[in-house]
Amino acid sequence: MSKNVNSTQFRTVDVDAYDEDNYEDDNREVESVGAAEVTERANQVRGLLNQLKSKEALKIALQNPPVGNKDASLKEQNYETVLSVLKSFKAADIDGAVSELDMTEVDVLMKYLYKGFTCSPDKAANLLQWHEKVVAKGGLGSIVRVMVDRKGI
């Protein structure tokens, strides 16, 4: 049998890097939320939870998520804030809280729920209760929007 070419290094070359027409995702950083705003929001939410004003806390926690921000710890912080609010609700109150949200907030909440399913599977039971109510409000469209979203929340 003929001898194979000595070097197979060519197989490791990344062809896409040399393609001029290669599509690059829009990597512009959208005016993302700064660290100060996230911490301030966390404090506000904690305050409201202490006063047992869960519904207001939920609304504030869902404002202006740090979408597409390069800083992962910032996203983690915001995520913890939202999670703390979700935990504080009793099962019966979830319905009322979800009905007060508008469509954008419903979408943001859905994104956090799915993040919760992946990051904290131990809390899945609580998250599933929320999921059921949010789908009743936002419909399958809100789930589609979570899947389609390229910039992580």
Partner 1 sequence: FVRWSPIVGRFAVGSGARLLSICYFDPEHNWWVSTHIKKPIRTTILCVDWHPSNHLIAVGSCDFKCRIFSAALKETNDKPETSGWMPKLSKFATPLAEFSTQGWVHSVKFSPSGERLAWVSHDASINIVHMDNHESVIRSLTPSLPLLTVVWASEESVVCGGHNNFPSLYNIIGGTSLSGGARLDVKEKKAGGGMSAMARFQQLDRTGDDSKGSSLDTTHQNCIVELRIMKASGATCSQFSSIGMDGKLVMWNLDALATSISGLKI
Give the residues lining the site for partner 1 (CB under 8 A): 21, 23, 26, 103-104, 107, 137-142, 144-145, 148-150
Closest alpha carbon to 59 in 129, 11, 109, 95: 109
Q: Are 49 and 57 in contact (CB under 8 A)?
A: yes
- If the CB atoms of residues 11 and 150 are measured against partner 1, the closer one turns out to be 150
Query: Least separation, in Å, of the C-beta of 144 and partner 1?
Result: 5
Residue nearer to partner 1 on the CB measure, 83 or 110: 110
Query: Closest separation between CB of residue 35 and partner 1, Å?
Result: 25
State the minimum distance, in angstroms, from the CB of residue 40 to partner 1: 27
User: How many Cα atoms within 13 Å fall on the side-chain side of residue 86?
Assistant: 24
d(CA 130, CA 113): 8
Give 74 or 110: the residue with its C-beta nearer to partner 1.
Answer: 110
For the bound state, the minimum distance from the C-beta of residue 5 to partner 1, rounded and expressed in Å, comes to 34
Q: What is the C-alpha to C-alpha distance for residues 148 and 8, in angstroms, rounded to an integer?
A: 38
